[in-house]
Amino acid sequence: MCVAIPGKVISVEGNRAKADFSGNIVDVNTGLVEPEVGQYVLVHAGCAIEVMEKEKAEEIIELFADLDDII
């Protein structure tokens, strides 16, 4: 099963960005989307595949945190 996870963009340089995933800063390829700093992107296999609404991204992040608490 493959999972895409939302992260908050903290910097953008060309077609690369740094995104914050619950405190983990990760380099992300942004060749498919054009995010701005402060926006959330849905990331799969290191590639941003969608710019997300903040509320939806935060909802998904909360669901993953709840799952982490259960496991």
The mean pLDDT value of the chain amounts to: 95
Predicted confidence band of residue 54 (pLDDT cuts 50, 70, 90) = very high
Q: Cα separation of 42 and 18, whole Å?
A: 13
Predicted confidence band of residue 68 (pLDDT cuts 50, 70, 90) = confident
Predicted confidence band of residue 20 (pLDDT cuts 50, 70, 90) = very high
Between the alpha carbon of residue 36 and those of residues 4, 5, 16, 30, the distances in Å are 19, 17, 11, 10
Q: Over 80: is that where the pLDDT of 71 sits? A: no
pTM for the model: 0.91
Give the model's pLDDT for residue 2: 80
